[in-house]
Structure 1
Amino acid sequence: MSAGTPAARISQRISAIAESATLAVDAKAKALKAAGRPVIGFGAGEPDFPTPDYIVKAAIEAAAQPKYHRYSPAAGLPELKKAIADKTLRDSGYKVDPSQVLVTNGGKQAVYNTFATLVDPGDEVIIPTPFWTTYPEAIRLAGGVPVEVFAGPEQGYLVTIEQLEAAVTDKTKILLFVSPSNPTGAVYSPEQVAEIGKWAASKGLWVVTDEIYEHLTYDGVKFTSIATAAPELGDKVVILNGVAKTYAMTGWRVGWMIGPADVIKGATNLQSHATSNVSNIMQVAAAAALTGPLTAVDEMKVAFDRRRKAIVAGLNAIDGVECPTPTGAFYVYADVRGLLGKEFETSNGPVRPTTSAELATLILDEVEVAIVPGEAFGPSGYVRLSYALGDDDLAEGVRRIQEFLGKAK
């Protein structure tokens, strides 16, 4: 810095971070709603169901116990780490020791911890695209370089080995793998999972796999863990997960990462300085969730499945919109390229949106429906809508979108 040049108030590292687009859309929708506007939000990936009673009860009982009023190990309560190890064997068929588990403040901290621990400046991380908004930001914070590999609706939003092969360089260290996917709801078949895992192993890559939507699949489609499907990966795999989506516990903030001992030790050291232990009360609640029945998620899936079919049918009824039927998570990822450049009558006169971001803004301003544009997840031309909201709101929101977009010229 030359003499007389003022120092930047915010570091370049932090200044480069983009705000979470999904949370920004959700916050704007909630602010408008609080102001009395009849806004319907399709933005946040948040189940509208309450957390099951037995989980809430466990938290209340824990809050009354003095032993949980104190610091606990940064890596997590032993009983929760054991529950996570047992649950991983039950659901993924992957055997881990509790010492291979780090409990984090939600799934996002697990993502951050993992890339901070594995990535050195200049390392490349392949990200199948569309991607969840936090992944590339966490990679950049660690000094890494996200390498996007885009798979469009023509291929079911599923990347191929050929695409991955074309993206590999001598700087590639990690493949990020997400199935079921946020934002698309796409789910890789067991054969595809095994093939991709075997390919990554042949390249000597680490695989970071986010399995937080593992229990949310439809139409008989099954979740497959790449850690199990591709034993060739050995110990070069890190599993990310949490209780948020399965048990309607988004606000409880409990996630975890599972990996080899040296990675978990490094990530634990980082967390010991960043946040220390996750709230003990929340950890006890998470343990109750994981050791309890999956009845609640099965009930939620019935509602999600019903809403999935309704929103896909409603969006596909609009000229210029193509919405593939997702088989996982609780999102649809609609192709709106057919609407870009068309004219819409608005309260301020005719408007011709040329990007999905402009189209999403137009829909919020004109009919008070919040959706997330494709720019948050990769290329423009798409929009994500979460169907984890009430049936009545979903129906009304889709009706408004249909009415507005149906007038395109």
Structure 2
Amino acid sequence: MPTARFNPLVKTLAAPPIPEVQAWKHDYDGRLGPLIDLSQAVPGYPPHPDMLRWLGESASSPSMAGYGEIEGEPELRAAYANWVSDIYAAEVKPANIHVTSGCNQAFMATMMAIAGPGDTVLLTNPCYFNHETTLAMSGVKVGYVDSHAQDGFLPTPEAVEAMINDGVRALAVVTPNNPTGATYPAGLLRELFELCRARGLWLIIDETYRDFLPLDSGSPHGLFAVPGWQDNLIGLYSFSKSFCIPGHRVGAVTAGEAVVTQIAKVMDNLQICPPRPPQAALAKAIPALGDWRRANVLEITARTEALSEVMADAPGWEIAALGAYFAFVRHPFASLSAHDAAHKLAREAGVITIPGSFFGNGLERYLRVAFANADVTTIRQLSARFASTG
């Protein structure tokens, strides 16, 4: 009898990496104290009490039980458009916003709208693995732009241009970066934008961790104020980290109205509409919780400083890039792969990290540390934990 078959584009993908490293928890015997999980990027503090109250109120409202608009709740689209306009000193309209169920879905819906089987999308190496697998399962080819440690794991415009050919539809970057934490300077983003515009490509900027830039850093870039930005720029965002609601799955796309129209076609098949209760809560939270979000940035900054101090005193360990939620750390185990080094750290020191090799090629000496998960006191324990691995 013939055997039913799987889609080979999905079957050939590696299993999701987070569950694999989470399983390493069971290999640690607790000898150095409680496990320190620095793997998946999750807020290390709870949502604001008002956010929880608004979520409860909206979830219990009969008006939220029905279908909503495909592009998102009008109140949230307006609130987010106003926020984006303030951040980037630009005029962004609600019609430029499409709400999604998380930023991974924002990326997938965007890519389905702009690229198809056989097309190529450029990612950096290292890259966020869910971007890579999203493209692979869609039959879209991936071109990798190498980003080197000596350049702060940022791509050069020359390296990007060298990868562009007739089949390339877009360049996708993440800033602050996942996995490295590196933040793209506004000047570099402008160069990449102009390059993409000159070559007829989309520039996709995933700014999931935008809200954790230092408070005095100013606007991340000025691209939304450039006349005609709608023709080749698409911004992606996640509400998960800033509002501590990753389980509620809300993200957003900022794009030209023509792009929003195409994404709506995709979203009608993916989900029909994003979850409505958290959208209603976020529409209130965006204008109301600014002070709370700024206080959280200060807390993340303190965690950044604590990790820098710890790593400076850890023989053989080195921070290669750092920012927002992540550090890309060079480990001292020259004879071990990144996978084995991460497993060793989990097993012997009770510290869970992600192997650098999960994010691309040539990264066997690196581990991704999601330091924002842990408070300053916990981060300071890493000195002893690292020392215990020899």
Question: Normalising by the residue count of structure 1, what TM-score does the alignment of the two structures yield?
Answer: 0.87
Q: Is the 1:126–1:176 Cα contact (8 Å) retained in structure 2?
A: yes
Partners of 2:292 and 2:317 in 1: CA distance: 33
Partners of 2:265 and 2:150 in 1: CA distance: 44
- Partner of residue 356, structure 1: 338
Correspondence 1:381 to 2:365: yes
- Partner of residue 103, structure 1: 99
Give the aligned residue type for 2:43: P
Give the aligned residue type for 1:332: A
Uncovered stretches (5+) of structure 1, i.e. residues with no partner: 342-352
User: How much does 1:24 deviate?
Assistant: 4.0
Change (3 A) 1:130 1:237: same
Partners of 1:239 and 1:23 in 2: CA distance: 29
Partners of 2:333 and 2:92 in 1: CA distance: 49
Correspondence 1:191 to 2:173: no
Correspondence 1:136 to 2:132: yes
Q: Is the 1:40–1:368 Cα contact (8 Å) retained in structure 2?
A: yes
Partners of 2:259 and 2:26 in 1: CA distance: 40
2:330 to 335, 338, 342: 335
2:161 to 158, 165, 174: 165
Partners of 2:82 and 2:38 in 1: CA distance: 34
Partners of 1:121 and 1:325 in 2: CA distance: 34
User: How much does 1:30 deviate?
Assistant: 6.5
Give the aligned residue type for 2:48: P
- Partner of residue 403, structure 1: 388
- Partner of residue 394, structure 1: 379
Change (3 A) 1:42 1:194: same
Q: Deviations over 1:20-65 (max 9, x none)?
A: 324543x436677999993211101111111112211212222332
Partners of 1:130 and 1:226 in 2: CA distance: 25
How high is the sequence identity, in percent, across the aligned residues?
A: 23
Partners of 1:117 and 1:367 in 2: CA distance: 45
Mapping of residues 166-245 of structure 1, within 5 Å:
166-218=162-214, 220-225=216-221, 227-228=223-224, 231=227, 233-245=229-241
Correspondence 1:44 to 2:40: yes
Q: Is the 1:194–1:229 Cα contact (8 Å) retained in structure 2?
A: no
User: How much does 1:395 deviate?
Assistant: 2.2
User: How much does 1:6 deviate?
Assistant: 3.2
- Partner of residue 278, structure 2: 282
Change (3 A) 1:268 1:362: same
- Partner of residue 6, structure 1: 3
Give the aligned residue type for 1:237: L
Correspondence 1:86 to 2:86: no
Give the aligned residue type for 1:340: A
Partners of 2:246 and 2:175 in 1: CA distance: 19
Give the aligned residue type for 1:385: V
Mapping of residues 254-293 of structure 1, within 5 Å:
254-293=250-289
Give the aligned residue type for 2:371: Y
User: How much does 1:203 deviate?
Assistant: 1.2
The 10-residue stretch of structure 1 (92-101 or 380-389) with the greater mean CA deviation from structure 2: 92-101
- Partner of residue 347, structure 1: none
Give the aligned residue type for 1:339: F
When the two structures are aligned, how many residues end up with a matched partner? Answer: 386
Give the aligned residue type for 1:383: L
- Partner of residue 50, structure 2: 54
Q: What SS does the corresponding residue of 1:334 show, helix, strand or coil?
A: strand
Partners of 1:95 and 1:24 in 2: CA distance: 44
Deviating above 4 A after TM superposition, structure 1's stretches of 4 or more consecutive aligned residues are 29-37, 229-234
The 10-residue stretch of structure 1 (363-372 or 226-235) with the greater mean CA deviation from structure 2: 226-235
Q: What SS does the corresponding residue of 2:258 show, helix, strand or coil?
A: helix
Uncovered stretches (5+) of structure 2, i.e. residues with no partner: none
Q: Deviations over 1:82-125 (max 9, x none)?
A: 11211111112342332232211111111111111111112111
- Partner of residue 346, structure 1: none
Partners of 1:226 and 1:256 in 2: CA distance: 19
Change (3 A) 1:277 1:377: same
User: How much does 1:174 deviate?
Assistant: 0.1
- Partner of residue 313, structure 1: 309
Q: Is the 1:213–1:329 Cα contact (8 Å) retained in structure 2?
A: yes
Change (3 A) 1:240 1:219: closer
Q: Is the 1:77–1:283 Cα contact (8 Å) retained in structure 2?
A: yes
User: How much does 1:15 deviate?
Assistant: 0.9
User: How much does 1:297 deviate?
Assistant: 2.0
Give the aligned residue type for 1:387: F
Q: Which has the higher contact order (CA 8 A, sep 6+)?
A: 2
Question: Normalising by the residue count of structure 2, what TM-score does the alignment of the two structures yield?
Answer: 0.91
Partners of 1:226 and 1:216 in 2: CA distance: 18
1:365 to 338, 342, 347: 347
